[in-house]
Amino acid sequence: MRDELWSRAIKKTKESGAVMQIWTDQNPQGFSSRQYGERERTFVDFEGLALIQIERGGRSQDDKTSDTIKP
């Protein structure tokens, strides 16, 4: 269900906009997330913790998508 909602949300953003999905998970922080699109805030991994980084004066487009899910 989560992946289906994610696919639908990405389709609705088209070429502009951004989507963030966060859900509870069994990891030290208690959640996982993924993001898509242009955004000012992105999750960055800092020694195993997902922290928010704010891009000043611009928006991040690193690979257009990012997540805290580890394969």
pLDDT exceeds cutoff 50 at 14: yes
Could you tell me the residue ranges of all domains in the chain?
2-67
Distance separating alpha carbons of residues 22 and 63, to the nearest angstrom: 19
For the chain, percent of residues with pLDDT exceeding 90: 21
Tens of pLDDT, residues 34-46: 988 887 888 888 8
Burial of residue 10 (CB within 10 Å: 0-12, 13-18, 19+) is middle
Beta carbons within 8 Å of 44's beta carbon, 6+ residues apart: 50, 51, 52, 53
Other Cβ atoms closer than 10 A to 44:
13
Q: Are 3 and 21 in contact (CB under 8 A)?
A: no
